A and B are shown apart, each in its own frame.
Chain A
Amino acid sequence: MKFGTMKPHRRNRLLLALFLVVGAGGATTFALLALNENINLFYSPEQIVSGEAPTGKTIRAGGMVLAGSVVRSETDLGVSFRISDLQSAEVTVAYEGILPDLFREGQGIVARGELNDKGVFVADEVLAKHDENYMPPEVADAIAEAHADATADATIVNETLAPVGQATDDKLSGVREG
């Protein structure tokens, strides 16, 4: 049966079905494309230090803010601080604007922004949770992973290079004081 000679309601139904298929397909494609462009991957300090994180692309980074690392500008709202996985990796974060209320040294934070070619993370947004006992899950994982790596390394390293564990302990206690 030719399309033109179909009964009107059948033709309508076919058109509706076609419209739905095309519409749904188009919407899905569009949504997935938009999604692909706007997902922000999380990188731990260790991954950033080792060069796994891309530069010039919006990503997220997180860790504990190191005690004594917050440096403010004297003329504007620029601020920089270092985040760490409490083992060896540290990343400097630069931010311009108002930090959240729960931002403080020793607090786990997550920042969204771009890594520049000097290895500084330039943040557009810094998030600290509303609950001070809460650790962002990404940060908790990063710290746990780094800790696991460090303990694994330590069994080999400890005999020759004792100071590695020492340095980590200092950092931890510094964090606690903060």
Chain B
Amino acid sequence: MIPEFGHFSLLLAFGLSIALTVLPALGVYRSDQLLMRTGPSLAAGIFMFLLFSFFCLMESFLADDFSVTYVANNSNSALPVQYKVSAIWGAHEGSFLLWTLISAGWTLAVAFFSGSLTADMKARVLAVLGFLNVGFLAFLLFASNPFERSLPFHPQDGADLNPLLQDFGLIVHPPMLYMGYVGFAVPFALAIATLTTGRLDAAWARWSRPWTNAAWAFLTIGITLGSWWAYYELGWGGWWFWDAVENASFMPWLVGTALIHSLAASEKRGVFKSWTVLLAIATFSLSLLGAFLVRSGVLTSVHAFAVDPTRGLFILVFLVMIVGSSLTLFAVKASGIKSDARFEWTSREAMLLTNNLLLVVSTAAVLLGTLYPLIYEVITDGDKISVGPPYFNAVFVPITLLLFTVMIVAPFSRWRKTPVKRLIQDHWPWLAIGPIAVIAGALVTGASREPLALFIQTIAVLIFLLLVKHWLVTVKSGWKVPSASYLGMILGHLGILVAILGVVITVYDSDGRDVRMAPGDQVELGGYQFTFRELAKVQGPNYVSDQALFDVQRDGNPVTVLKPEKRFYSVARNVMTEADLDPGLFRDLYIALGEPVGDDAWAVRVHVKPFVRWIWFGGLLIALGGFVTLADRRYRRERARATVAAGVTA
């Protein structure tokens, strides 16, 4: 009965979503306060029913109800319990249930934490979000129902969760990613709602900022976790592959980053308003495009779910509908928006504009590379190509370097006009320290002396030095406690430079080899000696594994013992590589077992990766920066003021 409850609950949520789309909008149309106020309770209802439905699916997994097709395909009675829970989002149907639940969660959050929104705006925003929920729920109910049963004949036991997904990474990566993807629905809804009123003002930008920052921070965590997971679980030591699905998550992040910056200019100076609206639409559209690419199977990718043309078509139609209607609305309404603020080339506005242009151009380049195989197949009538990482590196790296260069000075620029001469006078010693420090560092540590590596490291060091200086000046100039927004900016930029350093040093200074090794063999890499001691058989809950023991030494002193495994999952009949690594702030030691190659010998991959952890540490700092901005008093003060105003009118 439980799956039926879950299914029925989805139907109720669907009905309430339709009501949420219609009633508040009708309230706005008729200026009916009562109808406008139905939004929050409807949003709460949708969320409760979806949550209940989610728990029903969880119970089906925990109770090993293999009559439910989705459970039978993705679980097994021997599957450890934490993976039974995370298996809910291990494949298409359940992961879309999670997506929809998160969408309802954001809707609920808007309904209850938007004290500063006028009743009219709130009704409009909730109506837009309601419409999105209708779309998601329709897709769930009619094209990807996770509660479908295979009765009367159902398997006695499940086919087991894909072993790759039996990992901590699956537990945390998709929820964070979806929080980001779906979170961008809120600034989208705010933009659409504002367009319908025709009044794009500073208030709209101020409302949008915390929501955008939150969604963006979640997406940052999601992408960072994905990269980390790929590194230790399936990447063979790689951390980014320019895979179609990685790109699908990266594009909304890039445009979202542009949106964050552009919102700042729109709020503070009233400039770029229509551009900002366009970015809000683009960010959410790219999130939906990501869902389409992952779930339709049109692109070859390691992440793609099972191929199903119906599902692809459904999302494509929804995507076209969303993009088409919002752009039409934009075309009709945005022409009247004017900003009369003037600014000079050296102003902060110009810097933010540069940031936006570079981010949008790099997104366009990534989009082109991602979709090109599709385009090519259509125009050549069936010829299949793939676009390799060299394309993405060739295009993305120069644009990003330009962006980072601007990032060195941009935080110092002033609105309207920046006194350049004084700025140079104040900063040139700091600018000079950067290259000297980097070259000295390379000479002392024996790191790579490639000009490009040194150049990028210099940029990172300069960003750091000037951030520190900026901080000192700001704190000294009388702010006892800097605002949360400012602190968030510092943390975010700090995160970027930490990630840049991680990427550059990992790329240029890593040492890695694939070697043939038998017990007793030793290999020397990056100053470490790796000795293959022995091979043991290990029995896991749902697998058996060959586990190798490697002694790692440095100059004769033991460093660690690494135990990479080759697992065989008996139910799924899958072989899985479990790499083992010794993580460190300044270097990772990484060993993965390939396959047995005869005479006790194994193919072994050994890596010494300096600073690789900085990439993810940087990502987390960036996300932290995003979350810190949420504490900014301005957003709360606005709410308090609105509450007072509401009290007065009431």
Listed in ascending order, the chain A residues whose CB lies under 8 Å from chain B are: 9, 12, 20, 23-24, 27, 30-31, 34-35, 37-42, 58, 60, 72, 74-77, 96-99, 101-103, 110, 112, 129-132, 134, 136-138, 141
Contact = CB atoms under 8 A, between A and B. Distances in A.
Contacts of A31: 364-365, 368, 395
Contacts of A136: 300
B415 to A, nearest CB: 16
A136 B297 CA distance: 11
Contacts of B576: 101
A77 B234 CA distance: 20
B595 A39 contact: no
Contacts of A60: 386
B328 to A, nearest CB: 24
A31 B605 CA distance: 34
Contacts of B599: 74
A98 B594 contact: yes
A130 B386 contact: no
Given A77-B516, A77-B603, A130-B234, A38 B574 contact: no
A141 B307 CA distance: 15
Given A9-B342, A131-B162, A75 B516 contact: yes
Contacts of B307: 137
A35 B236 contact: no
Given A41-B384, A41-B385, A112-B388, A34 B516 contact: no
Contacts of A101: 574-577
Given A130-B234, A137-B307, 15 more contacts: A27-B399, A31-B364, A34-B394, A38-B390, A40-B385, A40-B386, A42-B385, A60-B386, A72-B597, A72-B598, A98-B592, A101-B575, A130-B162, A137-B384, A141-B384
Interface in B157-173: 162, 164
A130 B164 contact: yes
A77 B597 contact: yes
Q: Give the interface size class of chain B.
A: 35 or more
B231 to A, nearest CB: 16
B385 A27 contact: no
The prevalent SS among residues of A at the interface is: mixed
10 A-B pairs with least C-beta separation: A98-B594, A38-B391, A42-B384, A34-B394, A39-B385, A38-B390, A101-B575, A98-B603, A97-B514, A31-B365
Nearest to B574: A132
Given A101-B576, A132-B573, A138 B357 contact: no
Contacts of B345: 12
5 contacts: A31-B365, A31-B368, A35-B391, A39-B372, A72-B598
A39 B162 contact: no
B29 interface: no
Interface in B549-604: 573-577, 592, 594-595, 597-599, 603
Contacts of B382: 141
A153 to B, nearest CB: 21
B290 interface: no
Nearest to A41: B385
B242 to A, nearest CB: 11
B161 to A, nearest CB: 12
Contacts of B575: 101-102
Contacts of A38: 387-388, 390-391, 394
Interface of B: 162, 164, 234, 236, 300, 302, 306-307, 342, 344-345, 357, 361, 364-365, 368-369, 372, 376, 382-388, 390-391, 394-395, 399, 514-516, 573-577, 592, 594-595, 597-599, 603, 605
The prevalent SS among residues of B at the interface is: mixed
A55 B175 CA distance: 46
A136 B390 CA distance: 22
B357 A102 contact: no
A35 B372 contact: yes
Contacts of A24: 361
Contacts of A40: 385-388
Contacts of A41: 383-385
Nearest to A131: B162
A98 B603 CA distance: 6
A35 B369 contact: yes
Given A23-B357, A38-B390, A98-B603, A137 B369 contact: no
Contact of B236 (A72, A77, A98): A98
Contact of B387 (A39, A72, A110): A39
A76 B516 contact: yes
A103 B596 CA distance: 13
A77 B598 contact: no
A27 B386 CA distance: 21
B174 to A, nearest CB: 16
Nearest to B575: A101
A40 B300 CA distance: 13
B395 A42 contact: no
A112 B599 CA distance: 29
Nearest to B390: A38
Most buried by A among B306, B388, B390: B388
A83 to B, nearest CB: 16
A14 to B, nearest CB: 13
Contacts of A77: 514-516, 594, 597, 603
Contacts of A129: 302
Contacts of A23: 357, 361
B228 to A, nearest CB: 18
Contacts of B368: 31, 35
Contacts of A42: 383-386
Contacts of A141: 382, 384
A103 B577 CA distance: 12
A129 B369 CA distance: 21
Most buried by B among A58, A77, A138: A77
Given A27-B361, A41-B384, A74 B595 contact: no
A136 B383 CA distance: 14
A111 to B, nearest CB: 12
Contacts of B369: 35
Most buried by B among A20, A37, A42: A42
A96 B514 CA distance: 9
Nearest to B362: A27
A40 B385 CA distance: 5
Contacts of A134: 306
Contacts of B357: 20, 23
A11 B6 CA distance: 63
Contacts of A99: 594-595, 603
B300 A137 contact: yes
B395 A34 contact: yes
A31 to B, nearest CB: 5
Nearest to B598: A72
B514 A98 contact: yes
A119 B160 CA distance: 42
B386 A34 contact: no
Contacts of B388: 38-40, 58, 112
Contact of A98 (B364, B395, B573, B595): B595
